[in-house]
Amino acid sequence: MRKNAAPWILLVNSIAGDNKTARQRIWRALKASGAGTLRDGVYVLPNSDASRAVFQGQANEIIAMGGTAHLLTIGAENAEQARHFKALFDRGAEYTTLLREIFRIKAALRTLDESDARRELATVRRDLAALVAVDFFPAAPRQQVEHALDELEAAFNKRFSTDEPHAAKGHVPNRERNEYKGRTWATRERPWVDRIASAWLIRRFIDPKAKFLWLKKPKDCPKYAHGFDFDGAEFTHLGARVTFEVLAASFGLEHDAGIARLGQLVHHLDVGGVPVPEAPGFAAILAGARSKQLDDDKLLQAMSAVLDALYTTYRDAQGGDT
């Protein structure tokens, strides 16, 4: 919000004629943005550049349809009116619904298979991210749900990923790619996001002729193999970085725009953090591929096509090069 600007921005609009379809489209878009409704055709958001962009976009569409639209910035007349405006953005009921869903999933973990459990977890992560995006006045309910989701993810890992690595301390080692050619790499079997993306990164950018061992237990890792994504492995979680990010930094790849963006996606799905819009879709694709393909080498092959496509999209969006 600009310094000394009024705290609220209004969109006052009127759509010409009896165009119910247009009205519904505009209403859905404004509802998704988190706008509060003062009355029919009058919407309010906390004043910010993002809010102005939302309202201006809808105003342009309304005017293009022959309607009228005006953006106004206002302040509250008194404390009671300010409380009324703020109450329009109370997300307590939505957080309560989400909290109940988290508790339901946690109680059902014993009976869910891994594919269904991952799908449920991805959905609740997506729903929380969407709610946080329109939570303009975060308070205790948001903290409670975020804590409950952390506990659900911990319970999930205990149920399905008992060997999930713990973050080690220290600095990321610098490695030379030409010293890691034609090697054997080892990680836990039935790879999920961090392991599958790390294996893709290794074969795509580090060791094109890499061979992979998929271990039932980390202790099965032979001494000649380069282990990744388990406690004690050569490459694993380090500080705030997940294994994918550690590998990228170790081999000087972290400045590649496509790899950096993929790192954000992997980080979010593996340990939480800043939401990435494509993350739920990627998790759903991987869950389906894992259910269909029981051979981990073939699973890597199938998911490599997906990761190649995402990498190209992310790289080209930033004007990067391979």
As given in the structure block, the two tokens for residue 298 are 């073939």
Query: Which CATH number is 33's domain given?
Result: 3.30.70.240
Q: How many Å apart are CA 59 and CA 55, to the nearest integer?
A: 6
Question: One digit per residue, pLDDT tens: the chain, 322 residues?
Answer: 555 578 999 999 998 777 788 888 898 999 999 999 999 899 999 999 999 999 999 999 999 888 999 999 999 999 999 999 999 999 999 999 999 999 999 999 989 988 888 889 888 988 998 899 999 999 999 999 988 988 888 788 778 776 777 777 777 889 999 999 999 999 999 999 999 999 999 999 999 999 999 999 999 999 999 999 999 999 999 998 999 999 999 999 999 999 999 999 999 888 877 778 888 889 889 989 998 999 999 999 999 999 999 999 999 886 655 4
Given CA atoms 274, 277, 280, 281 in this order, what sign does their dihedral have?
Answer: negative
226-227 and 184-188: which strand pairing?
A: parallel
Q: How many Å apart are CA 96 and CA 280, to the nearest integer?
A: 22
As given in the structure block, the two tokens for residue 51 are 């809010």
- Do 140 and 204 lie in one domain? The reply is no
Whether residue 167 is contained in a domain is answered as: no
The residue length of the chain stands at 322
- Do 196 and 291 lie in one domain? The reply is yes
Note the pLDDT of residue 319.
63
Whether residue 123 is contained in a domain is answered as: yes
Note the pLDDT of residue 118.
84
- Do 208 and 265 lie in one domain? The reply is yes
Q: In sequence order, what are the beta bridge partners of 70? A: 12
Please, what is the angle between helix 193-201 and helix 243-250, to 10°? 20
- Do 40 and 113 lie in one domain? The reply is no
Q: Please give the model's pTM, rounded to 2 decimal places.
A: 0.64
184-188 and 211-215: which strand pairing?
A: parallel
Q: In sequence order, what are the beta bridge partners of 245? A: none
- Do 144 and 235 lie in one domain? The reply is no
- Do 148 and 117 lie in one domain? The reply is yes
Note the pLDDT of residue 322.
46
User: Domain limits at 189?
Assistant: 177-317
Q: Which of 67, 87, 107 corresponds to the end of one domain?
A: 87
Closest CA to 148 of 101, 192, 114: 101
- Do 189 and 307 lie in one domain? The reply is yes
- Do 235 and 182 lie in one domain? The reply is yes
Q: How many Å apart are CA 124 and CA 118, to the nearest integer?
A: 10
- Do 72 and 103 lie in one domain? The reply is no
Whether residue 72 is contained in a domain is answered as: yes
- Do 122 and 248 lie in one domain? The reply is no
Whether residue 30 is contained in a domain is answered as: yes
Q: Which of 87, 116, 149 corresponds to the end of one domain?
A: 87
User: Strand, helix or coil at 19?
Assistant: coil
Note the pLDDT of residue 320.
54
Q: Which of 125, 160, 195 corresponds to the end of one domain?
A: 160
Whether residue 170 is contained in a domain is answered as: no
Number of domains within the chain: 3
- Do 112 and 235 lie in one domain? The reply is no
